[in-house]
Amino acid sequence: MSEEPEWSEHRAEDPSTDQPRHPHGKHGGPRRTPARKWQDFKDSPFFPATVLVLILAAGAGLFAGSYTYAMANPTPHRVPVAVVGEPENRRDRSEFVTGMEKALGSSLKLRHYRTWTAAEHAIEAQQVFAIMRVERPKGVELDVSSASGASVAELLEEAGPKVGKKIGVPVEVRDLKPLDQGDPRGLAIFYISLAAVIIGFVGAIQLSVHARALNPPERIAFTLAYALLGGFVIAAVVDWGLGALDLPFVHSWMILALTLFTSGMVFTMFNTLVGRWAMLPTWGLMVLLGNPSSGGAVSWPLLPSVLGEIGRWLPPGASVNAQHTAVYFPDHQLLQPYLVLAAWALVSCAVFWIWRHRHPGGRPRSSSPSHAAAAAG
C-alpha cells in the first residue's frame, strides 16, 4: 500500500512576489498623507457634525449675548417729549428737565407745541412719548403714553415725582394711552410677532424636509397657505381665547399673515442661495438681530442706538411696529412697516424664483401629471 505524499504546510514562494509582506505599512494600502486624511474627514459624516457642534456653541453665545445686550439693562438715549406752552417760570422747567436727564441718564429731546391739542396729536402720531407742562402754582404735569412704549413710560413715571421732590416742584403724572388690561407690561404684541417670525421660517424648513418635491409655485402657495391660517390662529388665541389684546381682528390677522409669509420666504431665499446652511443667515437676521431690535420688548429709545435704527428695517421690527399702530393708534397708520415687510417678501420671492434651479427641492419634469399622461398614451 503506497503512502500518500505529505503536503508541506509552507508553500513555495513565488519569486515574482519577492517583496516585503507589508510594503505600505502595517495594514497595507497607500500611506495616508495629512491632506488625504483631511479629505477623508471632510467626506465623512463627522465633518458636518463637527461643524454643527461649533456653530451651535457659537449660536448659543450669540443668542444669549444679543438679547442680554439689548434688553437686560435698557437705558434711554434721546427720548422725544412734548412741551406745551410757555411757562411763566422758565427756571422751573429748566431745573425739571435737567433733573430728569440726570435721573434717566440721557437727554430729553424737547419739542415745543403751543396747544395741548397739538401735543396730544403728536402722541397719537407716535412722535413723542410724553407731554410736559410747567405751570404755577400747579407745578409740572407729566402725561405719559404707555401705549407708545411701556418701558419708556415706566421710567418717566418713576423719575418724574422723584425729580419734582428734589427741586421742590409738585409733579402730577397721568397715563394718556394706557395698555390693555390683559397686557399690563405691553409684551403681548412682541410675543405674537415673535410667534409669527419663528413659525414662519420653521414652516419653510418643514416644507423643505417633508414636502421637498414641491415645485416653486407650489412652495410659494403653501407658504402663503400656512401664513394665512397661522396668522388667524395666533390672533384668535390671543384675542378670543386669552383676551390679552383687543385686536382689530382682520387687520391684525393680515399683519401676522404677512409676517409669517415674509419670514418663510426669507428662509426659502437663503435655502436657494446657500443650501443646507440656510438656517444660519435666517436665524441671524430674524432672531439674533431682528427680534432684540424690534422695539417690542424694549422701546426703541431705550435700545442701543445702532439697534434702534436697524430694527425698523427688519421684518420683526416692521411687524411689531405695524401691529402696535393697528392696536393702539388706528387713526394714525404708518406706511413704512408695511413697505418693509412687502419689500422683504418680494425680494425673497424674486431671488427664489430667479435662481429656483438651485433650490434643493422640486421634482423632475418627467414625473409631472402631464408627462405621465403623455407617457401612458
- Residue 137: is the preceding peptide bond cis (ω within 30°)? yes
Q: pTM for this one?
A: 0.81
Q: For the chain, what are the domain ranges?
A: 78-175, 188-364
Domain 78-175 classification at class level? alpha beta
The set of cell numbers assigned to 284 is: 441671524
Place of cell 393697528: 326
Residue 377 pLDDT level (bands cut at 50, 70, 90):
very low
The set of cell numbers assigned to 341 is: 415687510
Q: Choose among 119, 239, 124, 244: nearest CA to 180.
A: 244
User: What is the tens place of the pLDDT at every residue in 223-246?
Assistant: 999 999 999 999 999 999 999 999
Least confident among 4-8, 34-38, 147-151, 196-200: 4-8
297 pLDDT above the threshold of 80: yes
**Per-residue model confidence (pLDDT) at position 237:** 97
Q: Which residues contact 94 (CB under 8 A, 6 or more apart)?
A: none
Query: How many angstroms separate the first and last alpha carbons of the chain?
Result: 80
**Per-residue model confidence (pLDDT) at position 376:** 46
Q: In what order do the strands lie in the sheet with 130-135?
A: 107-113, 78-84, 130-135, 139-144, 171-175
**Per-residue model confidence (pLDDT) at position 329:** 93
Question: Could you tell me where the beta strands, DSSP code E, fall in the chain?
Answer: 78-84, 107-113, 130-135, 139-144, 171-175
Task: Evaluate whether 93 touches 138 at the Cβ level (below 8 Å).
Answer: no
Q: Choose among 215, 221, 222, 247: nearest CA to 234.
A: 247
